[in-house]
Amino acid sequence: MENKITQLRKGILELAVLGCLYHERHYGYSLIKTLVGEGDLDITEGTIYPILSRLFKEELVKAEWVESNQGPPRKYYSLSAKGEQAFEVLNAEFAKLTAMVANAVAKQEKSSQNEERKILIVKKEGEDVQ
């Protein structure tokens, strides 16, 4: 199960990172804070860095070092034009996928309800016969 969760997370986390950077630039730590927010998603913070470096290699994000008024400089990431495009495409796809999952679950619930009803009807009929 752990495996399934990490697999599922991997792709979606990447999309979420792109989404975060779509609106403003972030450095690693602020990106994590924004992603996790007040939610209780327990995410190993370090995993954000391989994602960022992969996106950087794919030229979807740009990076620059900015001096911080306190402490060491920070590496800020922002989306490239290619990254913005990629996010829009992926986001649309993601919306379709979530709709699909929601649909599938809803349909199944409906059909199982139907089945229950059928069973009830059969039972009633049985009672009638008796």
Partner 1 sequence: MSNDFSEPVGKIVDNYLRKLKTHLKGLPANDQEELVKEISSHIYDSFRSDTTENEVDRILKVLDKLGEPADIISSRMSPAMMKMGKKKKLPLYILAGITIALFGVPLGLGGISLLLAFFLTILTLVFSYYLIAGSLLICGWLGMIVSILVFINPNFLDFLGPEVQLSPLTPDPTLNAVISLALSVVLSVVGIVLIWLGKYMMRGIRFLFHLTFEKIRGFRKKRGPEIQTT
Q: How many CA atoms lie within 13 A of 84 on its CB side?
A: 8
Q: Is 34 in the site for partner 1 (CB under 8 A)?
A: no
Rounded to whole angstroms, the Cα distance separating 34 from 4 reads 24
Residues 25, 77: contact at Cβ < 8 Å?
yes
Rounded to whole angstroms, the Cα distance separating 92 from 95 reads 5
Binding span for partner 1 by CB under 8 A among 43-51, 90-98, 106-114, 117-125:
43-51
Binding span for partner 1 by CB under 8 A among 17-25, 44-52, 83-91, 116-124:
44-52
Q: Is 68 in the site for partner 1 (CB under 8 A)?
A: yes
Q: Is 93 in the site for partner 1 (CB under 8 A)?
A: no
Contact with partner 1 (CB under 8 A) among 12, 15, 51, 90 = 51
Cα distances (Å, whole numbers) of residue 124 to 108, 128, 129: 24, 6, 9
Q: Which spans of this chain sit near partner 1 (rule: CB under 8 A)?
A: 3, 6-7, 10, 27-30, 33, 44-47, 49-51, 53-54, 65, 68, 70-75
